[in-house]
Amino acid sequence: MHRFYLTGLAVILASSPVLAQQDAVTRGQRDFRGCMPCHSLEPDRNMTGPSLAQLWDRKAGSLESFERYSDALKSSGIIWNERSLDAWLMNPERMVPGNEMPFNGIKDDRARADLIAFLKQATKPGAQPQSAVEGRMGGMTGGMMGGGGRDPDLKSLEESMQVEAITYCHDTYRVITADGKTRAFWERNLRLKTDSGKDGPQSGAPALVPAGMMGDRADVIFAAPEEISKTIERRC
């Protein structure tokens, strides 16, 4: 009888780490919902950020199908694994100063460990599609755009809002503003609008207006529809 008891206890002890790991993966899967507006688990399905498929042991900034990496990340030399992802998820700006990810970090140690456990499983080659995670999440972005209050006067703009040129390549718009800066946007995150009202932009002087809460979306507002095709140049 003692032998059966000891055998059962050994089985329980041996399975405990496995169960604990699966619990972490399950919690991490729930936490990943916060990442879904910007990242996909499908290979080469890029959104605001790059696809996370086959992330493990990949060099940061190296996914060829994603064109909006910051120079800081591309030159960082980071290889994604448990240690580097933990540091990144805790504070991406401290790990890679000048990166362009609009994310303040996760300060809770267990939450980071859970998310990393999930990512290690979900991003490996041949992983099954995470349909439970990547299903449509209604209302996720419904309140992120727009807001109350008077619209700004687009006839009087600071240089960071004055659009000088726009180029389009594959799935990316690059907006060049009068302050000499270029901002890259995933094509679904840049909305092209017109405003012919008294507060709209001057003819031939479109305005770049930030939109959303994460800093990765914007509107370009033109004085008239015909200006859109004249301003945007298809160039890689």
State the Cα–Cα distance between residues 121 and 138, nearest whole angstrom.
Answer: 26
Query: Phi, psi (5° rounding) for residue 82?
Result: -55, -45
pLDDT at res. 142:
39
Q: How far apart are CA 166 and CA 28, in angstroms?
A: 39
Handedness of CA 73, 79, 81, 82 (dihedral sign): negative
> Residue 102: its pLDDT value, please?
85
The whole-angstrom separation of Cα 28 and Cα 118 is 5
Q: Among positive and negative, which fits the CA dihedral 78, 82, 87, 88?
A: positive
* pLDDT on residue 3: 58
pLDDT in tens, the chain (236 residues): 555 555 555 555 455 666 667 889 999 999 999 999 899 999 989 999 999 999 999 999 999 999 999 999 999 999 999 999 999 999 999 999 999 888 889 999 999 999 999 999 999 887 665 544 555 444 343 333 333 345 678 988 899 999 999 999 999 999 999 999 999 999 999 999 999 988 899 999 999 999 877 778 999 999 999 999 999 999 99
Domains, the chain, with CATH or none: 15-127 (1.10.760.10), 159-234 (no CATH)
Would you list the DSSP string of 43-90? Answer: TT--SSS---TT-TTPBTT--TT-----HHHHTS--B-SHHHHHHHHH
> Is the separation of the CB atoms in 183 and 164 below 8 Å?
no
The DSSP H or E segment spanning 221 is strand 217-222
